Amino acid sequence: MDHIQPRSLSGSDDLDNLAFACRRCNERRYNFTTGIDPEIKQEVALFNPRQQKWADHFAWSSDGLRIQGVTPTGRATCDRLDMNDDRHANGFIQTSRQFWRQIGIHPPQ
Ligand SMILES: [Zn+2]
């Protein structure tokens, strides 16, 4: 599995080395290519959206408020990007998901 290699680690800006990301995920991803799976306590490659399928590595909680990693890569990516704001306690993402759910556009299919 190739990593998407950050420019700061001599990655290219070829299209196949780029991935769309919101600002928040992009900043939290920084130049990391790996993370620690909190369950097995091992360093694994982060999810690569160019080569892997989201649904193979993540699932929504039944209330639609949390992304749950279902593989080492999924769990390490959730943790590294703090996808549920567990370490960024302003609650913004939980509030946003709740709102999106109320207006019927969340969780995405
Ligand atoms: Zn994001």
Report the chain's terminal Cα–Cα distance, integer Å. 26
How many Å separate Cα 41 from the centre of its chain? 18
If we measure between CA atoms, which residue out of 85, 95, 99 comes closest to residue 25? 85
Task: Please state the domain count of the chain.
Answer: 1
Q: What is the pLDDT of residues 26-72, one digit of tens each?
A: 899 888 999 999 999 999 999 999 899 999 999 999 999 999 999 99
82 domain residue, yes or no: yes
107 domain residue, yes or no: no
Residue 93 CA to ligand 1 centre (angstroms): 10
Domain that holds residue 60: 7-102
**75: number of CA atoms within 13 Å, CB side?**
12
1 domain residue, yes or no: no
Residue 10 CA to ligand 1 centre (angstroms): 23
Q: What is the pLDDT of residues 61-107, one digit of tens each?
A: 999 999 999 999 999 999 999 999 998 777 789 899 999 999 999 99
